[in-house]
């Protein structure tokens, strides 16, 4: 297997080399039980406000774009439903899901399904296919007035309770694992894990964003000076946005929690009570995600193919290429395992946007299932992999030592992971 060595320059390239235009959408809870309720839209500077949606929403709670369908979903507390709207115009299309006991947050999970929290009723987390087909309750127990959720790297689900001031933990099958946090909170809303594996919790009543370690131990305030804070998202450059209800603003912070400015100024466009913030990338460019992890091939060259693995936490991709020598070996050449013409290469490197830039490594000198002799690795060239969507990509290779270069269109061998990929792609927007 290829050596996994990540230099600081590569990490910076992966994070900064891809820039896109974007818009900012903010759910306005109005006067809570009373209107006006609306979804606002702002430009990348937090300016030029316009009302994006005001019909068929009542105390809206969350915003989720499904780019593949050119739709946006809005959960409304008062109507017990999630509505589907045109992603460009905001025009109401139909109901995505009904019969939900006051839906709050929506998020696409690791399995590519839509997870929905219920403020009331049995308070269990529900799941839906991305076309709205219900999949029933996911969690074994309910979380009272649930209003925030996220997953850790092991696939465990965490759900916050506003009224009980706690965070509950569930395993990847929805089984209750008990309380994760039950102190140092007053009224938690949104929760999410940062790159360090710490859980960040917006405390609506506690005037701050609080930070907890991977075991649920309180580490202190991450952001202070907030009032009725609710709703967050990250800009493409890594800056954090948080809605602040009392000031009717959307505040911007550096990734470490340092305050920058109010990106959306107070009451801009009539904003009253922000309770969800969503950054939408405008470019149509596909974004690489872990749903691409699969076996890929080119139908024109059967018996050859690629294994692709995306590591989203570090912004890197690993590729294994199974192919043959450039010419068939002489018929007299023999092999004990496999056959003489077999060749395999590995490649590793950063990705950004829809494209990965990988270095090929040629591994040689080893013996089957043996530590000795120690194999060696040498650089063999470069591979660029660009994805058009969750099912199609183009691999461009350059192997200077052999004078080989060209492009190979690739597709998945099976479509099993396409739905997960599309779900993650929608979530990344």
Question: How far, in Å, CA of 340 to CA of 330, rounded?
Answer: 9
Q: Tell me: the pLDDT tens digits for 183-213?
A: 999 999 999 999 889 999 999 999 999 999 9
DSSP string across 190-251: EEEE-TTSPEEEEETTTTEEEEE-TTS-EEEEEE-S-SSEEEEEE-TTS-EEEEETTTTEEE
Nearest by Cα to 76 from 88, 60, 92, 97: 60
* Neighbouring C-beta atoms of residue 178, cutoff 10 Å: 8
For residue 75, the cross-strand partners are 62, 82
Percent of the chain whose pLDDT exceeds 90: 73
Percent of the chain whose pLDDT exceeds 70: 94
Confidence of residue 101 (pLDDT cuts 50, 70, 90): very high
Please confirm whether the linkage preceding 392 is cis (ω < 30° from 0).
no
Confidence of residue 11 (pLDDT cuts 50, 70, 90): very low
Confidence of residue 329 (pLDDT cuts 50, 70, 90): confident
Confidence of residue 341 (pLDDT cuts 50, 70, 90): low
Nearest by Cα to 45 from 208, 217, 261: 261
Q: What is the mean pLDDT of residues 99-126?
A: 96
pLDDT at position 429 is: 59
Using alpha carbons, list the distances in angstroms from residue 31 to 47, 48, 274: 23, 23, 11
Residue 16 has pLDDT above 70, yes or no: no
Lowest mean pLDDT among 95-109, 332-346, 373-387, 407-421: 332-346
Q: What is the mean pLDDT of residues 388-403?
A: 90
Return the H-helix or E-strand segment holding 95: strand 92-98
Return the H-helix or E-strand segment holding 346: strand 342-352
Q: What is the pTM of this model?
A: 0.68
Averaged confidence pLDDT in the chain = 90
Residue 177 has pLDDT above 80, yes or no: yes
Return the H-helix or E-strand segment holding 423: helix 418-428
To the nearest 10°, the Cα dihedral for 354, 13, 45, 256?
120
Q: What is the mean pLDDT of residues 244-272?
A: 97
Please confirm whether the linkage preceding 24 is cis (ω < 30° from 0).
no
Q: Are 383 and 394 in contact (CB under 8 A)?
A: no
> Higher pLDDT residue, 384 or 374?
384
Q: What is the mean pLDDT of residues 38-61?
A: 97
pLDDT at position 377 is: 84
Residue 365: which region, alpha, beta or left (left: phi > 0; alpha: psi -120 to 50)?
A: left
Q: Tell me: the pLDDT tens digits for 287-314?
A: 899 999 999 999 888 889 999 999 998 9
Q: Are 114 and 105 in contact (CB under 8 A)?
A: no
DSSP summary character for residue 16: H
Domains of the chain in sequence order: 21-281 (2.120.10.30), 290-428 (2.40.128)
Greatest mean pLDDT among 27-36, 319-328, 330-339 lies in: 27-36
pLDDT at position 283 is: 59
Q: How many Cα atoms are found within 13 Å in the side-chain-facing hemisphere of 251?
A: 24
């Amino acid at each position: 297997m290829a050596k996994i060595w990540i230099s600081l320059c590569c990490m910076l390239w992966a994070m900064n080399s891809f820039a896109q235009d974007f818009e900012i959408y903010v759910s306005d809870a109005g006067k809570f039980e009373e209107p006006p309720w609306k979804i606002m839209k702002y430009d990348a500077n937090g300016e030029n406000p316009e009302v994006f949606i005001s019909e068929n929403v009542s105390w809206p709670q969350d915003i989720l774009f499904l780019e593949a369908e050119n739709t946006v979903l809005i959960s409304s507390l008062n109507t017990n439903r999630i509505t589907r709207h045109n992603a460009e115009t905001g025009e109401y299309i139909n109901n995505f899901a009904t019969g939900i006991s006051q839906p709050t947050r929506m998020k696409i999970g690791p399995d590519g399904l839509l997870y929905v929290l219920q403020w009331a009723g049995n308070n269990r987390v529900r799941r839906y296919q991305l076309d709205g087909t219900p999949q029933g309750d996911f969690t074994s127990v309910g979380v009272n007035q649930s209003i925030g959720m996220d997953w850790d790297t092991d696939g465990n689900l965490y759900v916050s309770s506003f009224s009980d001031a706690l965070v509950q933990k569930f395993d990847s099958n929805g089984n209750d694992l008990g309380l994760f946090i039950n102190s140092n909170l007053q009224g938690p809303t949104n929760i999410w894990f940062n790159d360090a594996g710490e859980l960040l919790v917006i405390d609506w009543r506690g005037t701050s964003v609080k930070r907890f370690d991977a075991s649920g131990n309180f580490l202190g305030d991450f952001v202070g000076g907030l009032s009725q804070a609710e709703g967050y998202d990250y800009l493409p450059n890594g800056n954090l946005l948080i809605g602040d209800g009392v000031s009717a603003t959307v505040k911007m912070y550096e990734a470490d929690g340092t305050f920058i400015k109010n990106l959306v100024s107070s009451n801009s466009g009539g904003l009253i009570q922000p309770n969800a913030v969503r950054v939408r990338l405008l470019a149509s460019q596909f974004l690489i995600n872990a749903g691409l992890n699969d076996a890929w091939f080119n139908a024109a060259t059967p018996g050859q193919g690629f294994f692709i693995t995306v590591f989203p936490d570090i912004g890197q991709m690993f590729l294994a290429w199974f192919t043959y020598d450039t010419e068939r070996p002489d018929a007299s050449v023999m092999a004990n395992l496999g056959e003489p013409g077999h060749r395999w290469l590995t490649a590793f490197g950063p990705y950004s946007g829809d494209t990965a830039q990988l270095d090929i490594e040629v591994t040689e000198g080893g013996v089957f299932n043996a530590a000795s002799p120690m194999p060696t690795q040498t650089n063999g060239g470069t591979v660029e992999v660009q994805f058009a969507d969750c099912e199609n990509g183009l691999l461009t290779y350059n192997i200077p030592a052999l004078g080989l270069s060209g492009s190979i269109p690739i597709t998945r061998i099976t479509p099993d992971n396409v739905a997960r990929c599309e779900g993650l792609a929608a979530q990344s927007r």
